[in-house]
Amino acid sequence: MVTKPKGCHDIYGTEAKKWQYVNKVIDSLMEKYNYSYIRTPIFESSEVFHRGMGETTDVVTKETYDFVDRANRKMTLRPEGTAGIVRSYIENKMYGNMPNPVKLYYNGTMYRYERPQSGRDRELTQFGVELLGSDDPLSDAEVISIPVNLFKILGLQEIKVKINSLGDNASRNNYREALKKYFEPHISSFCEDCQERFVKNPLRILDCKVDKDNPILKNAPKTLDYLNEESNLRFEKVKEYLKALEVDYEVDPKLVRGLDYYNHTVFEIEAHVEGFGSNNVLGAGGRYNGLVELLDGPKTPGVGFACGIGRLMMALDLENIDLDIKDDVEIFVMAVSDTEKNYAVTLVQSLRMSGFKVEMDYTDRNLKGQFKQADRLNAKYLIILNDKDLAKNEIKVKNNITKEEITLELDYLLYYFDEVLQDEEYINENEDLTSDIECSCHHHDCKCHHEEGE
């Protein structure tokens, strides 16, 4: 039997329904924030990621899926969204032909050749946003609040937001020098990768998974002690806005993040539910004011984040959150004879085009078998076609829950279902899945499920 590649997943059945639900919540939330959806290629010229994410980052040195195409071009399956989106921002001159700031969101698969384990996949899905063209600390805070609000809407309780600042380039350089001085006498006791990091980018040492418990690493200088005044003030502003946005956070002076493009604000949001394991960062991001220039675009500030949807689904499961997924069929149309079946085909189409979720039999089951199938699919209503009724322009409808049966005139059928099924809508584009965001639970007409004051 051929099996799926390591670190990849088949998402189907109820799990797929949950993913679709979460995706709809994301789309609906992004609409409210006025972010527009962007889809960039799943592979790019290798250069985009090598230059964008940094030659010395673990992702680029060890984890990319690189290949040479038939014309000998070096290509890479995208390990993340940011570098490709910045490439697209520059190539499509979005800085000139879209309102500034440009607010983009994406939701798609990324590829990293990592050692597969719980929460660490080779094919992963990220939802993320990139806000390009604003250096206002408000944009940092708002970007952090997006995943926080998403998790809130979905019902997650056990999350922790960690923030830090790397400061501007001058602060970062000061810090880099301080780290070099600090590590120099001890570097031979660190892993081989760290010895290379020491030369190329000492900040990376703080991110090392091998030496993470080394006390020398634990006592290393902290970024915040090296921020210049301007960077410090900026970080204070971000924190003020986070308070205004009611985002609870913790400052973690050791947080540096694993990609090279960051400066100023960096953040991570962790799941703290029991049983999650060590790969518990649900979403992460930060500011990257130099990246657009690095990829040959005009000097443009940027900030963004990405959230691993697989990890988010794990957190929802571990917190036992029941998403409001309705899997049942609204109407099952039963037909046995050829004339009944021909009639059913047209009827099913017309009901579906009228907006109902409708099923019929595709495997020549007898009537008893069709009743059983309707039960398996949790059908709410059954239409039982029968040649005699059809000859009289009538139709039998059975409520499969109360078992009540009625005979209707054919012309009245759509009106009838409009009436009985109108309150039982499935998630659709019109449904406001984000209405909980501003819920204070004091309004008598609030549709949220919270208790007063919760």
340 interacts with ligand HAM by CB under 6 A? no
Q: Which stretch binds ligand HAM (CB under 6 A): 22-30, 120-128, 393-401, 409-417?
A: 120-128
Beta strands in 309-384 (DSSP E): 331-334, 358-360, 381-384
290 interacts with ligand HAM by CB under 6 A? no
- Measured between alpha carbons, how far is 122 from 208 in angstroms, rounded to an integer? 20
Q: Which stretch binds ligand HAM (CB under 6 A): 216-224, 308-316, 319-327, 359-367?
A: 308-316
Residues in the chain: 454
Distance of CA 294 to the CA centre of its chain: 27
Pick from 147, 167, 202, 310 the residue near ligand HAM by CB under 6 A. 310
Tell me if residue 403 falls in helix, strand or coil: coil
Pick from 90, 124, 220, 347 the residue near ligand HAM by CB under 6 A. 124
- Measured between alpha carbons, how far is 276 from 152 in angstroms, rounded to an integer? 18
161 interacts with ligand HAM by CB under 6 A? no
Rounded to a whole number of angstroms, the minimum distance from the CB of residue 259 to ligand HAM is 6
Tell me, by CB under 6 A, how many residues bind ligand HAM.
26
Q: Whose Cβ is closer to ligand HAM: residue 321's or residue 441's?
A: 321
319 interacts with ligand HAM by CB under 6 A? no
Rounded to a whole number of angstroms, the minimum distance from the CB of residue 257 to ligand HAM is 7
Rounded to a whole number of angstroms, the minimum distance from the CB of residue 86 to ligand HAM is 9
Rounded to a whole number of angstroms, the minimum distance from the CB of residue 143 to ligand HAM is 8
Pick from 9, 17, 120, 352 the residue near ligand HAM by CB under 6 A. 120
What's the first-to-final CA gap in the chain, in angstroms?
A: 52
Rounded to a whole number of angstroms, the minimum distance from the CB of residue 227 to ligand HAM is 20
Long-range contacts of residues 343-349, Cβ cutoff 8 Å, at least 24 apart: 343/385, 343/390, 344/385, 347/383, 347/385
Q: Whose Cβ is closer to ligand HAM: residue 121's or residue 361's?
A: 121
Q: Which stretch binds ligand HAM (CB under 6 A): 15-23, 124-132, 372-380, 390-398?
A: 124-132
For residue 360, which of 325, 333, 320, 383 has the smallest C-alpha distance? 333
Token pair of 286 as six digits: 């930060």
Pick from 306, 316, 333, 358 the residue near ligand HAM by CB under 6 A. 306
CB atoms near residue 278 (< 10 Å) = 10
Pick from 26, 304, 381, 386 the residue near ligand HAM by CB under 6 A. 304
297 interacts with ligand HAM by CB under 6 A? no
147 interacts with ligand HAM by CB under 6 A? no
3-state secondary structure 216-281: HHHCCCCHHHHCCHHHHHHHHHHHHHHHHCCCCCEECCCCCCCCCCCEEEEEEEEECCCCCCCCCE
E strand or H helix at 306, and its extent? Answer: strand 302-308
User: Do the Cβ atoms of 207 and 193 come closer than 8 Å?
Assistant: no
Pick from 121, 140, 193, 330 the residue near ligand HAM by CB under 6 A. 121
- Measured between alpha carbons, how far is 360 from 333 in angstroms, rounded to an integer? 5
Chain positions 76 to 105 lying near ligand HAM, rule: CB under 6 A, are 80-82
Chain positions 256 to 285 lying near ligand HAM, rule: CB under 6 A, are 281-285
Q: Which amino acid is at 430?
A: N
By CB under 6 A, name the binding residues for ligand HAM: 80-82, 112, 114, 119-121, 124, 126, 128, 130, 281-286, 288, 304-308, 310-311
